Structure formats: structure tokens, C-alpha cells
Amino acid sequence: MQYFTTDLRDGTCVLTLTNPPYNALNSDILEEGAGLLADLAEGPPAGGVVLTGAGSDFTRGMDTKIAAKLSPEGGRRARDAINSFCASLHRLPCALVCAVNGHAIGAGGIMMLTGDWVIAAEGAYRIGLPEAKAGLVFPSVPQAVLDHWLDPVWRRRLALTSQLIGPEEAVAAGMADEIVAPDALLNIAVGRAAELMSQPGFVACKRQLRAKANAEIDALMA
């Protein structure tokens, strides 16, 4: 793997996006990530999955410099890649905990919304969905994720104003579930994933909870 590293910690797979300096996304990264998630879905780790970013950012979303130069064919590939990656995150049949270590912008915010539990590190970084400011629209699968998992008031506020918020506001918006010290982030995230998976009915309840959204995503991906 070129852009993702995996580390098995007591049965939990820590999946780390690594593309310095900002962990910006492009088609190659998204396709690699979707393939890796498909493999994890085939053999889910007993302790679930933790998703985080290397360095000081979770991800600042799509690399806008690359996106601005894409041909029509390249643009279609990028949309297909982000749809596939987000769908793979959303469909993951085990616990998915997002360990947000820094800026989570655009696709980073969508990735947070695919998690079963989201832990944000304390810090002065920003979280948001500034596609409108960047002159972009949400691809179909990210839009479905937004529709199902973000409160309508906050969906309107964040998607239409491109407002960026801090970790505390992200908890208020329902994009994050708890805030912890940065040096404890990964250990707590691994523990939360294991706790979720320790429940005998977790996998079945997750499947039930996500059935409508997954059916919509499956139709969009068909």
C-alpha cells in the first residue's frame, strides 16, 4: 500500500491515511482505500477498524489543485473513486471508529459521518463541508451519507455556508461523539472499537441501522 498503513492492535486494525503534508485525496488514494476496505469487509477484524490520518491532519479532502486540472474523464474517475471509497466505509460490516487528529475538510467531514463512533482530538483545527466555497457539488454517495447521518439544520448550515467548526461544535452538530487529549486519541479509539465489537448484537444492529442508507447507496452504485 502506498497511501494507507495498517497496524493490528489487540485485534483492532488501525488504518492510517498517509499523504503529507495535508493528507489530501486524489483518485489513486481513494481507489487504494476502497480496495483495502473491500478486503477488510471480507475478513473483518475481531476488534473493528480505526480510521485516522498521519501527521497533523485527518484529511483536508480532495486535492483542489489536481481537481482543477482534471479532464472530463479524470473528473468522472474522481467521482467514481470518492463514491466507491465512501460506500466502502459506510458498508464496513464491523465497528468503524474515526480518530480525528486534525483538520477534517470536505471529504474528511463525510468520512467522519460514516463512522459508528467519532473521537476528535482537542485542538484548534477545523471541520466542515466547504464544497460550495470550492465550487464543487457533493457526489451522490457523500450526499446520501449527509442525508442520512447529519442533522438537517446542521446539514443546511455547513453545506450552504461552507462554515468551518471546531471539535466542540462538531460534537454539538453530531459529527463527533467525544473529545480527548491528542496523545490519548489512538489508544481510546482502539478501545472504543473493541468495546463496540464486544457486544454480541453489534454487527446485526449496525446492519439493521444502516439498511436503508446502504440500499440507497447500492442503488446509486449500480
pLDDT in tens, 14-30: 999 999 999 999 999 99
Q: What confidence tens digit (pLDDT) does each residue in 97-135 have?
A: 999 999 999 999 999 999 999 999 999 999 999 999 998
What CATH code would you report for 4-221?
3.90.226.10
Band (63; pLDDT cuts 50, 70, 90): confident
Q: Is 97 left (phi over 0), alpha (psi -120 to 50) or beta?
A: beta
Q: What is the mean pLDDT of residues 39-56?
A: 97
Helices (H), 107-184: 107-113, 131-134, 140-149, 152-161, 167-173
Report if pTM > 0.85.
yes
User: In the structure grid, which three cell numbers stand for residue 67, read together?
Assistant: 481537481
User: Per residue, what are the HEC states of 64-100?
Assistant: HHHHCCCCHHHHHHHHHHHHHHHHHHHHCCCCEEEEE
Question: DSSP letter at 135?
Answer: T
